Chain A
Amino acid sequence: ETGVTQSPTHLIKTRGQQVTLRCSSQSGHNTVSWYQQALGQGPQFIFQYYREEENGRGNFPPRFSGLQFPNYSSELNVNALELDDSALYLCASSSRDRVEKLFFGSGTQLSVL
Chain B
Amino acid sequence: AQTVTQSQPEMSVQEAETVTLSCTYDTSESDYYLFWYKQPPSRQMILVIRQEAYKQQNATENRFSVNFQKAAKSFSLKISDSQLGDAAMYFCAYRSARNNDMRFGAGTRLTVKP
What residues make up the interface of A, taking CB atoms closer than 8 Å to B? Answer: 33, 35, 40-45, 48, 55-56, 58, 88, 90, 92, 99-107, 109
Contact B100 A45 (CB under 8 A): yes
Q: Judge if B75 is at the interface, Cβ distance under 8 Å.
A: no
In the complex, which residues of chain B have a beta carbon less than 8 angstroms from the beta carbon of A105?
A: 44
Contact A45 B103 (CB under 8 A): yes
Q: Given contacts A43-B91, A56-B101, are A106 and B106 in contact (CB under 8 A)?
A: no
Chain B residues touching A, range: 20 to 34
- What is the predominant secondary structure among interface residues of chain B facing chain A? strand
Q: Which of B45-53, B61-69, B79-87 contacts A (4 or more CB under 8 A)?
A: B45-53
Q: List 30 A-B contacts (CB under 8 A).
A: A33-B100, A40-B106, A40-B107, A42-B4, A42-B91, A42-B93, A42-B105, A42-B106, A42-B107, A43-B91, A43-B104, A45-B100, A48-B100, A55-B100, A56-B99, A56-B101, A58-B101, A88-B43, A90-B43, A92-B45, A99-B100, A100-B33, A100-B35, A101-B47, A102-B102, A103-B47, A104-B45, A105-B44, A106-B42, A106-B44
Cα A100 to Cα B33 with chains together (Å): 7
Since A42-B93, A44-B104, A109-B43 are in contact, a sample of 12 more A-B pairs with Cβ atoms closer than 8 Å, ordered by chain A residue number, is A42-B4, A42-B105, A42-B106, A42-B107, A45-B102, A48-B100, A88-B43, A100-B35, A101-B50, A102-B47, A104-B37, A107-B43
In the complex, which residues of chain B have a beta carbon less than 8 angstroms from the beta carbon of A35?
A: 102
Q: Which residue of B lies closest to A103 (CB)?
A: B47
Taking the closest CB of chain A, its distance from the CB of B22, in whole angstroms, is 15
Q: Which residue of A lies closest to B109 (CB)?
A: A40
Q: Which residue of B lies closest to A106 (CB)?
A: B44
Cα A101 to Cα B104 with chains together (Å): 15
In the complex, which residues of chain A have a beta carbon less than 8 angstroms from the beta carbon of B4?
A: 42
Contact A107 B103 (CB under 8 A): no
